[in-house]
Amino acid sequence: MRGRARSTSRRLILGLVAVLLAFIVFTSVFFVSWDLVGDGSESSTPPPVPTIAPATPTP
């Protein structure tokens, strides 16, 4: 019974480490790809900047 509990806890720890590693890899790849896409769009054509029309005073 003690061996089974030990293997279960080890499996749980390994699972958590695997999920954490996958999360880190996913976020790093996501940010790198987002940064590359942003650089590509900036070099070719800059994204349109939304401009707010000045308020015209009403008499």
User: How confident is the model over 20-30, as pLDDT tens digits?
Assistant: 999 998 888 87
Query: What is the per-residue pLDDT for 22?
Result: 93
- Tell me if the pTM is above 0.85: no
pLDDT band for position 6 (50/70/90)? confident
Nearest-angstrom CA–CA distance, 19 and 13 = 10
User: How confident is the model over 28-58, as pLDDT tens digits?
Assistant: 887 776 666 555 544 555 566 777 777 776 6
Q: What's the chain's length in residues?
A: 59
Please, are residues 47 and 41 in contact by the beta-carbon 8 Å criterion?
yes
Give me the phi and psi of 21, to 5 degrees please. -65, -45
Domain boundaries, the chain: 1-41
Q: Provide CB contacts within 8 A for 41, sequence distance 6+.
A: 47
Collapse the DSSP code of 59 into the 3-class scheme (helix H, G, I; strand E, B; otherwise coil) and give the result. coil
